[in-house]
């Protein structure tokens, strides 16, 4: 049996971590992929297919393909249920310790064979962080009624309902049209909560969800409350034009959801830009379009690795001339751990990191010459006010 020789450690087995692991391993460089959970895929493995009579290009199906490719790759060692405990040394000569997380008894093959059993110490030339982000928990915002009123759900919940093919739970078939409101920017673009950044993906997710819902239940009446729709692309322009006739779009950020006039209905209070009065709207369902927030493990990982976080809690890049690189030389960032990104954006970053690694692995001096990102790959999104 060939002993696995690791030159690069990738932390996080979501779409970004899997993409970088595979791209680097395809260059003949040994990779160890360290995932704290008990399976690969990250959050993107939970999202539903948004196809109507055509593909909605949501990219959710790319994840399963990536899992199969990574699982079968002879150059990638996967360690599940694993936590990075320390990282000594310097770029080109790291020594990384990985500890097991508590085990799950219900783990099935193939995942079981990758579960880390005991502490491992691994030499590595470079470390790639791909630890992602978490969906915002809307129960933090008490005025939106999530967890209190049955008809208030998040886009994450609705994605789950569609994935389980259980739409009747959200919208039972009925002769009376169900009125559904989508509230954008929940957990994002909010100065008071310290999350002024735009989460990038959630306008597109809402447009796809509205399209899919109306494909499955043409009688639905949908309304989208938005600040400004972040859907700039030819593909999305066409989507929007198509929906424009079927769904209602209202500018404003509703700050409160209350019980409506009749039992089971919900009232949404909205202030349109420039208006001095609140307007009330009645709905049967309210869907909160949740954004992304930094993963809970970022702080401890930053301490263990000696890395800086930015003002929002994402891993910081040392400056504009070093995109996708962390504040410690030899440590790289891919996907949503450096700021919100969608699946394709995470993949693009992962490919760019793999290209940088192919250029620099084996070089003598990581400190003087920082790796350069190839043109057109796109770094992390700006996380200041958008
Ligand atoms: C409701 C919702 C719907 C969405 N729908 C879409 C969509 O339709 N299309 C789209 O393009 N994007 C969508 N997104 C965004 C998409 O989920 C992200 O772009 C994608 O998950 C980012 O991938 P990632 O690999 O960077 O991070 P993640 O998916 O977050 O994966 C990170 C991985 O790292 C692991 N990890 C975390 N910390 C550690 C640690 N300390 N040690 C080891 N492992 C660790 C995690 O367990 C996880 O497996 C949606 C997001 C939400 C919230
Ligand atoms: S890209 Fe999205 S909509 Fe298209 S087939 Fe894949 S999962 Fe379905
Ligand atoms: S993509 Fe930006 S503008 Fe659109 S809902 Fe998300 S945070 Fe708001």
* Domain-wise residue ranges, the chain: 8-132+295-360, 136-291
pLDDT of residue 178: 95
Please give the distance, rounded to the nearest whole angstrom, from the Cα atom of residue 196 to the centre of ligand 2.
Answer: 30
pLDDT of residue 108: 72
pLDDT of residue 210: 95
pLDDT of residue 380: 58
How many Cα atoms within 13 Å fall on the side-chain side of residue 324?
Answer: 29
Closest CA to 291 of 265, 312, 260, 309: 312
CATH of span 8-132+295-360: 3.50.50.60
pLDDT of residue 377: 47
Best residue among 48, 52, 55, 347 to mutate for probing ligand 2's pocket (most ligand atoms within 8 Å of CB) is 55
**14: Cβ below 6 Å to ligand 1?**
yes
d(CA 304, CA 288): 35
Report the nearest-CA residue for atom 8 of ligand 3: 185
Which atom of ligand 2 is found nearest the CA of 56? 3
d(CA 13, CA 71): 11
**155: Cβ below 6 Å to ligand 1?**
yes
**76: Cβ below 6 Å to ligand 1?**
no
**59: Cβ below 6 Å to ligand 2?**
yes
Determine if the pTM surpasses 0.85. Answer: yes
**65: Cβ below 6 Å to ligand 2?**
no
Which atom of ligand 2 is found nearest the CA of 48? 7
pLDDT of residue 171: 92
Q: Put the strands of the sheet holding 93-100 in their side by side order.
A: 82-90, 93-100, 120-124
Output the tens digit of pLDDT for each of the chain's 386 residues.
345 666 999 999 999 999 999 999 999 999 999 999 999 999 999 999 999 999 999 999 999 999 999 999 999 999 999 999 999 999 999 999 999 987 656 677 777 778 888 899 999 999 999 999 999 999 999 999 999 999 999 999 999 999 999 999 999 988 889 999 999 999 999 888 889 999 999 999 999 999 999 999 999 999 999 998 887 777 777 777 878 778 999 999 888 999 998 999 999 999 888 888 889 999 999 999 999 999 999 999 999 999 999 999 999 999 888 999 999 999 999 999 999 999 999 999 999 999 999 987 855 445 444 444 444 444 554 443 33
| CA distances from residue 103 to 13, 36, 37, 312 in whole angstroms, order as listed | 17, 11, 10, 31
d(CA 195, CA 121): 37
CATH of span 136-291: 3.50.50.60
């Amino acid at each position: 049996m060939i002993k696995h020789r690791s030159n690069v450690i990738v932390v996080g087995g979501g779409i970004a971590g899997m993409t970088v692991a595979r791209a680097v391993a395809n260059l003949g460089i040994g990779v160890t992929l360290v995932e704290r959970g008990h399976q690969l895929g990250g959050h993107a493995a939970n999202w539903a297919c948004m196809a109507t009579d055509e593909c909605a290009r949501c990219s959710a199906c790319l994840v399963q393909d990536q899992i199969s490719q990574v699982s079968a790759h002879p150059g990638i060692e996967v360690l599940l249920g694993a936590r990075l405990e320390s990282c000594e040394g310097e770029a080109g000569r790291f020594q990384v310790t990985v500890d097991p997380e508590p085990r799950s008894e219900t783990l099935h093959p193939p995942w079981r064979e990758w579960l880390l059993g005991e502490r491992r110490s691994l030499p590595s030339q470079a470390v790639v962080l791909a630890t992602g982000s978490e969906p915002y928990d809307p129960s933090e915002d008490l005025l939106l009624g999530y967890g209190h009123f049955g008809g208030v759900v998040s886009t994450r919940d609705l994605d789950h309902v569609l994935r389980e093919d259980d739409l009747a739970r959200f919208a039972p078939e009925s002769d009376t049209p169900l009125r559904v409101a989508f509230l954008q920017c929940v957990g994002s673009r909010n100065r008071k909560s310290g999350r002024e950044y735009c989460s990038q993906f959630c306008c597109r997710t809402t447009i796809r969800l509205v399209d899919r819902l109306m494909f499955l239940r043409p009688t639905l009446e949908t309304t989208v409350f938005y600040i400004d729709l972040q859907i700039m692309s030819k593909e999305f322009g066409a989507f929007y034009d198509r929906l424009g006739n079927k769904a209602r779009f209202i500018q404003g950020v509703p700050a409160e959801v209350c019980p409506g006039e009749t039992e089971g209905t919900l009232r949404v209070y909205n202030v349109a830009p420039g208006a001095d009065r609140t307007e009330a709207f009645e709905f049967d369902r309210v869907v909160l379009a949740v954004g992304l927030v930094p993963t809970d493990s970022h702080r401890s990982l930053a301490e263990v690795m000696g890395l800086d976080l930015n003002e929002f809690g994402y891993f910081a890049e040392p400056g504009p001339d070093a995109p996708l690189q962390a504040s410690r030389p030899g440590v790289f960032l891919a996907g949503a751990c450096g700021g919100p990104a969608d699946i394709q954006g995470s993949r693009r970053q992962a490919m760019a990191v793999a290209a940088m690694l192919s250029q620099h692995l084996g070089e003598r001096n990581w400190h003087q010459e920082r790796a350069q990102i190839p043109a057109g790959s796109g770094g992390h999104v700006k996380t200041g006010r958008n």
